[in-house]
Structures are given as structure tokens and as C-alpha cells.
Amino acid sequence: MHEIVLNCCYSLSKKAVEWLAAKEALVKDNYYFFLYEDDRTNPNLIKVVKELGSEASAHCSKLEIITSDSELYRITEYDGFESLETPEMIHWKKF
């Protein structure tokens, strides 16, 4: 089972960024660092969302951890709301 952080809006809270900065020596001013990075399975990102709960989300965001059995995934986004897609979710049609 794999854990992945999705954002139903926009960014991490200042408190979450400071927590991550302390763990990974990041620049504290970069509020959007993890949300635009490819690795949403980053153990520290998952840990901060678990530890801070709703406090990990900024006022315009809603971070959540979802699980997937799939080894492959992609995150799609529409108007700030993210969804997880796995190969099993795609319904292929034949010509």
C-alpha cells in the first residue's frame, strides 16, 4: 500500500513549510515547494500532513493522504482540485 499526498486546493501552510524546512533544510519562504514537486510520496511530506492534520493546509488548501495499491500513478488537476489516477482506472476503448 502506497501513501500519496493530494491537494484539493492550493498550498501548504506556513507551519507545514517550517516543519519541512527543519527536516529537509529547505528555504522557508518557498510555500509551494512540495506541491509542485513530483514526489508526493516523500516520507516527510506524508509525515507533516499526518502530524499537523488540517494545520498542514493553508487557508486555500486541503491536503489529504490517500492510499493506492498501484505502483504507477499520476495526479491530475482541475481548478486546483487534484485527483489520483492509476492505470487500472483508465477505461480503454477499441477502434
Q: Where are the domains of the chain?
A: 2-89
Low-confidence residues of the chain: pLDDT under 70: 7-11, 25-38, 59-60, 80
Give 21's Cβ-side CA count (13 Å radius): 15
For residues 35 and 13, is the Cβ–Cβ distance under 8 A? Answer: no
Give 51's Cβ-side CA count (13 Å radius): 12
At residue 87, the pLDDT reads: 92
pTM (predicted TM-score): 0.63
Q: Which three cell numbers stand for residue 21?
A: 524546512
At residue 19, the pLDDT reads: 80
Burial code (b: 16+ CB inside 10 Å, e: under 16) for 18-29 equals ebbeeeeeeeee
